Structure 1
Amino acid sequence: MKIIRTQKSYATSDGAGVNIKRIAGFDGNSLDPYLMIDELKSDDESDYMAGFPPHPHRGIETFTYIRKGGFEHQDQMGNKKAIRSGDVQWMSTGRGVVHSEMPLADDSNGMHGFQIWLNMPAKEKMRPPRYQDSTESGVPTLANDQQATLLALAGSWRMNNGQHVDGAIMGLAGEGAIADVILPPNSAMLLDVSTHEKVLIYIHSGSLYETEFGAGSLLEVAPSEALTLRAGTQGLGALVLAGQPIGEQIAHMGPFVMNTQQQLREAVRDYQLGRFGDIV
């Protein structure tokens, strides 16, 4: 595994005061086709119970994955869903979405989840929004003889032994593919990621074997025939994010990601005029 660069998550807050760890890449290059990785991990309700009241988006895709706890999602398209442990949800906002994400109280488990933003290509940014989740279908998995497990959250995944699986959600922007890889202590998994130009690893628990990289570390690695993930003595939990860079100019302001400043102004105006719709 050739590491190209590393990045450390930083503490911040969003929504109505939710404490998170964030990796941001709104330069249009460092994470492309991804824009942001937010991790919410806490056993303290004060870190997350305020949630994310109604807010807009345009020009991005949001991908939510819950490991512990849950959120209730609601949007102006009429979707109202409880997204709980093991579920994923994808919202391709296109020309505009208004949604809310409010925590579901769980006194015993706390909260651990991710929201990942992907950029949309310019030609797709103003199409109608789309929504999908895994609450009915579940998330497919792969496992090897070392009891290492891959949860195929989105896109197609192949282990180097030939096992292949399509994820719970297909069709992400930038041919995005996202997996949660869980390795017992001192075990390994080999993935074929050679069809992707961008491959990122975000460690959420444990550590990589014989490295200083632990929870909150992001690694960009060179695509190759085999990506070897090897756990340290505490095991390893890591999101693997792959895709094809979009390579377009980015203009970013809060919940809107477009290609020009003029388009951002239009997004703000359309939202203020009520053209995104309302949650009912």
Structure 2
Amino acid sequence: MSLRPTLETRRAQPTMEGAGVKLHRAFGFQDPSELDPFLLFDDFRGETPGDYSAGFPWHPHRGIETITYVLGGAVDHADSLGNSGTLGAGSVQWMTAGSGILHQEMPKGNAKGQMHGFQLWANLPSSLKMTAPRYQDIHAPDIPEVVDDDGTRVKVITGEFWGKRGPVDGIAADPQYLDVFVPAGVKKTFRVDTYRRAFAYVFEGAGAFADASGPQGVLLEKEVAGQEVNIRDLSGNRTLVRFGTGDEVTVQAGPEGIRFLLISGAPINEPVAWHGPIVMNTREELTQAFAELRNDTFIRPAH
């Protein structure tokens, strides 16, 4: 076994998207090869409706898949195929835009006016860029959760982990998408396929991801077992952790435990031509897509 080194940790940056939704972007609209096949990751959470109620009105997508995971509140959605519904807390929607779709997503708060969710964009290979659009809506009770003896809990959204398989299937990037909680003071190692790009996104608590090049994880374990933890050594709320190659990721939970998404996928290794919500392989394909938007031929008829 080989430990994946931590290539980089960085905080998600505040930005505004849609019609005025306040969110934090962990990555996106930069170097698409960095986390290939993943293109963008947004953390949208708000304490009051003014942070999110403007939502994401009707907009197009082509050439990608979008994965929406709702932790709190809800998201109403509708699309040009005639689908509509509500994603409640703990639910996941995996949308394959393929040849093109128009949709909208409108967040709603819980009883206290709070909402929280994530959206991840995954690229499609050239052979599937123009595939027929489809949706997979997965409700919270259908997402398996495994619990280890030390209190570690893992929700398996897609892929296989600890003998459980996530309910989302048929995804081009063949990803593993896990929602992980590690209790305070526990050190835990997770297997990740060597040939996948991988990242973690911390959204509750804090911890240290051990680096093969240094003793940080071991030192932190001793500190947790004792009295003090050097908070500066911990990756906390809204932190992206990008890993190098290897087949294991090790995390040492801080004094409040740590909750994070652990996501990996097989790189596509193809050229990327990207503008806004449309991601193709060439500038010519991108130009054609926007021309079709202008002349109302963007949505292909169902076969």
Q: Normalising by structure 2, what TM-score?
A: 0.85
Q: Which residue does the alignment assign to 2:235?
A: 213
Q: Which residue does the alignment assign to 2:262?
A: 240
Q: Which residue does the alignment assign to 1:75?
A: 79
* 1: CA distance, partners of 2:140 / 2:150: 29
Unaligned runs of 5+ in 2: 209-219, 221-232
Q: Which residue does the alignment assign to 1:160?
A: none
Shift of 1:196: 4.0
* 2: CA distance, partners of 1:122 / 1:219: 28
Is 1:10 aligned with 2:9? no
Contact between 1:192 and 1:224, CA under 8 Å: does it hold in 2?
Answer: no
* 2: CA distance, partners of 1:202 / 1:217: 6
Q: Which residue does the alignment assign to 1:65?
A: 69
Deviations 1:8-61 (A, max 9, x none): 211101100000000224422111110010001221211101011111000110
Is 1:55 aligned with 2:54? no
SS of 1:215's partner is coil
SS of 1:190's partner is strand
Contact between 1:191 and 1:226, CA under 8 Å: does it hold in 2?
Answer: yes
Unaligned runs of 5+ in 1: 158-162
* 2: CA distance, partners of 1:188 / 1:52: 39
* 1: CA distance, partners of 2:249 / 2:141: 28
Shift of 1:183: 2.0
* 2: CA distance, partners of 1:225 / 1:272: 46
Counterpart of 1:250 (choices 255, 258, 272) is 272
Is 1:115 aligned with 2:119? yes
Alignment: residue pair count: 273
Contact between 2:55 and 2:107, CA under 8 Å: does it hold in 1?
Answer: yes
SS of 1:173's partner is coil
Shift of 1:222: 3.4
Q: Give the counterpart letter for 1:213 in structure 2.
A: S
- Root mean square deviation, CA, Å: 1.8
Q: Which residue does the alignment assign to 1:34?
A: 38
Q: Give the counterpart letter for 1:265 in structure 2.
A: T
Q: Normalising by structure 1, what TM-score?
A: 0.92
Deviations 1:250-279 (A, max 9, x none): 11111111111111111111122222449x
Moved more, 61-70 or 72-81: 72-81
Moved more, 58-67 or 223-232: 223-232
Contact between 2:49 and 2:113, CA under 8 Å: does it hold in 1?
Answer: no
Q: How is 1:1-280 mapped onto 2 (pairs within 5 angstroms)?
A: 1=3, 2-26=5-29, 27-108=31-112, 110-135=114-139, 138-157=142-161, 163-209=162-208, 210=220, 211-277=233-299
Instruction: Please say which structure displays the higher CA radius of gyration.
Output: 2
* 2: CA distance, partners of 1:97 / 1:277: 6
SS of 2:290's partner is helix
Task: Indicate how the Cα distance of structure 1 residues 84 and 196 shifts in structure 2: closer, same or farther if over 3 A, else same.
Answer: farther
SS of 1:123's partner is helix
Contact between 2:289 and 2:298, CA under 8 Å: does it hold in 1?
Answer: no
* 2: CA distance, partners of 1:182 / 1:130: 31
